[in-house]
């Protein structure tokens, strides 16, 4: 998907993530993409070794494509205002974005996508 909506699971390569998780579970290393949030592009790859415990975090960690390969699934729910405040702080400090642009994106895509694609995955959580 290339519509600029990075809060839609179709914007991510979840199939590659699933492939990488399966490879890691089989004890083999992967070449993990390095992603640049400012340019919205992959800037290269880095080797990532398998470990006994790997934590997958993010909006789509319980997405149907990857949830079945996870041993323990946790859903941490926070209130909308908390999520918005964290996003404003992150995007202003780490990505140089304007507060008004962040709020506009929140209203137009972030919160609607959370309600559509993220909150519904809560039912798959063990905790």
Find all residues with CB under 8 Å of 68, minimum gap 6, and list them.
none
User: Could you give the dihedral angle defined by the CA atoms of residues 91, 96, 99 and 104, in that order, rounded to the nearest 10 degrees?
Assistant: -70
Find all residues with CB under 8 Å of 2, minimum gap 6, and list them.
none
CA distance 97 to 101: 7
Kindly state the DSSP code that residue 114 receives in the 8-state scheme: I
Do the beta carbons of residue 93 and residue 37 sit within 8 Å?
no
Q: Minimal CA–CA distance to 50: which of 67, 36, 68, 31?
A: 31
Per-residue pLDDT of the chain (127 residues; tens, 9 = 90+): 445 687 889 888 999 999 999 999 999 999 999 988 778 889 999 999 999 999 999 889 999 999 999 999 999 998 889 999 999 999 999 989 999 999 999 999 999 999 999 999 999 999 9
Do the beta carbons of residue 39 and residue 49 sit within 8 Å?
no
């Amino acid at each position: 998907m290339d519509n600029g909506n990075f809060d839609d699971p179709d914007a991510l390569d979840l199939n590659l993530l699933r492939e990488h998780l399966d490879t890691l579970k089989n004890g083999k290393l992967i070449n993990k993409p390095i992603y640049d949030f400012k340019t919205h592009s992959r800037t290269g790859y880095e080797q990532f070794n398998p470990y006994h415990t790997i934590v997958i975090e993010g909006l789509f960690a319980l997405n149907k494509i990857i949830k079945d390969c996870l041993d323990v699934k946790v859903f941490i729910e926070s209130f909308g205002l908390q999520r918005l405040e964290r996003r404003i702080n992150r995007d202003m400090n780490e990505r140089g974005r304007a507060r008004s642009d962040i709020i506009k994106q929140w209203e137009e895509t972030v919160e609607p996508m959370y309600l559509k694609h993220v909150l519904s995955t809560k039912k798959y959580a063990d905790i």
